[in-house]
A and B are shown apart, each in its own frame.
Chain A
Amino acid sequence: MNPSHQPAYGVRLEVRGLHKSFDGQEVLRGLDFVVEPGEIFVLMGPSGSGKSVLLKHLIGLEAPDAGEILINGDSIMTPEIAAKYRMALVFQSGALLNSLTVGENVGLYLREHRLKTPAEIARIVAEKLADVGLADAIQKMPAELSGGMKKRAAIARALVIEPQLILYDEPTSELDPLSSVVMGQEIWKLNQRTGVTSLVVTHDRDLAFGIADRIAVIDEGRILAIGTPESIKQFKDPLVEKFLKADFKRETQIKSL
């Protein structure tokens, strides 16, 4: 059964006691947090802290060893969840299908689920690509796009679903500072326009503090701090402070310190 298309509105996401191990190594160690409807929630943490694994759980690509994930109170593991709620994940790499054009990628969901006529799909695809500034790329193959364009095309593909929950995996990785700002603006504008609940996984501090309603800092599968950007800046924890304030210094400066 395919989800019916209603206007997008945010859902409440609740994670309770989430545990996951791979080959005996514990990656998630009892995560608990709530993302309120329409909120932009940013999950920050160093590489290998379990952020991407958590995202895969949130979209149902991985099953937890213990704990549960609830969307408006319904478990993510129930078979009807995909039919009941519209969710989208913007992958770090974009994950566009390389054998399809950008336009075909963006229209894939509607075409495969037969939700619209081909003419309507073409109109929606053109509209969503224009929304992310890629109107001219409709006939291009993903291999012809830059990293930033791939990510924006992936956002357009997610927009077609009219998601109630959208997850972003490292949306500014591999992007130059200007493109990172554009990407942050896209995420914020989409949230303001549609009211979609947004969960952004990143280790880009500028992005996190620029767009977040609330931020959680995660390390080694545990949440170290959670709160508004201002409260996170004031948070007294050596690991959190180190992660938020770490800066590159030339060797001579380091020695002189």
Chain B
Amino acid sequence: MFDNIGQVVLLFWRTLASLPVAWRQREKVFEQFFEIGNASLLMVCVLAFFIGGVLALQTGPALVARGLPSAVGGIVGIAVAKELAPVMMAILIAGRIGSAMAAEIGSMRVYQEIDALRTMNINPIHYLVLPRVVAMAVALPMLVVFAILIGWFGGATVAAVNRHMMIPYAAYFGDLRNMVELKDVANGVFKSFCFALIIGTVSCHQGLTTMDGPRGIGRSVTKAVVNSIILIVMFDYILTRMLLH
């Protein structure tokens, strides 16, 4: 994957440079935005609820046994907001939307639609890449905010019904409010914004460089998802380290 990292960076730079024409492409941005939200919202809810739930289940009984039931809300709250919601949602979106982007653009490349755009003097970056990257950069942070709230609620539900915890909703959310600060949520949202840029750029790049006919489309989709996930995990560490203090 690192052999074409320079091309990915160049595509990202060209996409940034084309931001002034983003308003002209607003219809396509809204189209992509709707596609991302519509296709992912239910999955985000289910995934986030169970992530919050399983986190409460893993940490809650041990904390309660040591006389620390008030830490459950805070631990679930911080872990979901700063780490689990942004990373898990980014991985979900890389699989669900990044793959679709690579497949669609790859198919356009294979069937000469991108060549046709070029012959009409239409820049494929303006027409295809920019709307997707911008829509992703707006949609993923919004989905992550949603995932954080649902994740907290999932943790609260498990903490309330599990017989080893039995922490009331009000107490759980009170503890969560005491421990989680707004900057923790902002931290997670910022990370998800960076992940969105990675997913959008990597997926579009794989689509644009598709070769060898229909078989190449499958290869591009796989590489788009795998490369996105690897970069998400690497950048998660780098961003966490940067945002630590």
Chain B residues touching A, majority SS: helix
CB-CB under 8 A from B38, the residues of chain A are none
In the assembled complex, which residues on chain A have CB atoms less than 8 Å from the CB atom of B4? none
Is the interface on chain B under 10, 10 to 19, 20 to 34, or 35 or more residues? 10 to 19
Given the interface contacts A95-B113, A97-B113, does A112 sit within 8 Å of B122 by beta carbon? Answer: yes
| One of A82, A95, A97, A99 near B121 (C-beta < 8 A) | A82
Provide the bound-state CA to CA distance between A2 and B120, in Å.
10
Return the contact of A108 from the options B24, B108, B120 (Cβ within 8 A): B120
Tell me the count of chain A residues lying within 8 A, CB to CB, of chain B: 25
Q: Give the shortest distance, in Å, between A51 (CB) and chain B (any CB).
A: 15
Chain A nearest Cβ from B103, distance in angstroms: 12
Taken together as a complex, chains A and B put the C-alpha atoms of A55 and B116 apart, in Å, by: 13
* Pair A2/B121 contact, Cβ less than 8 Å: yes
Are A95 and B120 within 8 A (Cβ)?
no
Contact of A98 with B121 in the complex, beta carbons under 8 Å: no
The reply on B112 being an interface residue by CB < 8 A is yes
Q: In angstroms, how far is the closest chain B Cβ from the Cβ of A164?
A: 14
Q: Which of A27-35, A85-93, A214-222 contacts B (4 or more CB under 8 A)?
A: A85-93
Q: Is the CB of B119 within 8 A of A59?
A: yes
Please state if B116 and A97 are interface contacts (CB–CB under 8 Å). Answer: yes
Within 8 A of A (CB), among B144-177: none
User: Are B113 and A161 in touch, CB under 8 angstroms?
Assistant: no
User: A73 CB to closest chain B CB, in angstroms?
Assistant: 20
A224 CB–B CB distance under 8 Å: no
Contact across chains for B119 and A112 when beta carbons are under 8 A apart: no
Tell me, yes or no, whether B235 is within 8 Å of chain A by CB: no
Contact status A95-B111, CB under 8 Å: yes
The answer to whether residues A112 and B127 also contact, given A82-B121, A97-B108, A161-B120 and a CB cut-off of 8 A, is yes
Contact with A along B99-133 (1 / 0, CB 8 A): 00000100110011101111111100001000000
Decide: B119 and A108 in contact? CB cutoff 8 A.
no
Q: Which of A81-116 contact B (CB under 8 A)?
A: 82-83, 87-89, 91, 93, 95-99, 108-109, 112-114
Q: How far is the CA of A114 from the CA of B115 in the complex (A)?
A: 20
> Which of chain A's residues have a CB closer than 8 A to the CB of B119?
59, 61, 87-89
Chain B residues lying within 8 Å of A95, measured Cβ to Cβ, are 111-113, 115-116
With a CB–CB cut-off of 8 A, which chain A residues contact B118? Answer: 60-61
Measured in the bound complex, the distance between the Cα atoms of B77 and A148 in whole Å is: 61
Check if A108 sits within 8 Å of B122, measured CB to CB: yes
Interface residues of A in 42-61 (CB under 8 A from B): 56, 59-61
A98 touches B111 (CB 8 A): yes
Chain A residue numbers with a CB within 8 Å of B115 are 56, 61, 89, 91, 95
Residues of B within 8 A of A61 (CB): 115, 118-119
Alpha-carbon distance between A91 and B24 when the two chains are bound, in angstroms:
28
Task: Pick the most buried of B24, B107, B120: most chain A CB atoms within 10 A of its CB.
Answer: B120
B107: A residues at CB distance < 8 A: 98
Report A-chain residues with C-beta under 8 Å of the C-beta of B112: 91, 93, 95
Closest to A110 in B: B120
Is B122 a contact partner of A109 (Cβ separation < 8 A)?
A: yes
Which of A60, A83, A98 makes the CB contact (< 8 A) with B113? A98
CB neighbours of B127 from chain A (8 A): 112
Contacting pair A91 B116 (CB below 8 A): yes
Report the nearest A residue to B24, measured CB to CB.
A114
A98 to B122, CA, bound (A): 16
25 A-B pairs, CB-CB below 8 angstroms? A2-B121, A56-B115, A87-B119, A88-B119, A88-B120, A91-B112, A91-B116, A93-B111, A95-B111, A95-B112, A95-B113, A95-B115, A95-B116, A97-B108, A97-B113, A98-B107, A98-B113, A108-B120, A108-B122, A109-B120, A109-B122, A112-B120, A113-B121, A113-B122, A114-B24
B residues whose Cβ falls under 8 Å from a Cβ of A: 24, 104, 107-108, 111-113, 115-122, 127
Residues of A within 8 A of B (CB): 2-3, 56, 59-61, 82-83, 87-89, 91, 93, 95-99, 108-109, 112-114, 157, 161
Known: A89-B115, A112-B120. 4 other contacts (CB 8 A): A56-B115, A61-B115, A95-B113, A109-B120
> Top 3 nearest A-B pairs by Cβ distance?
A95-B116, A95-B112, A82-B121
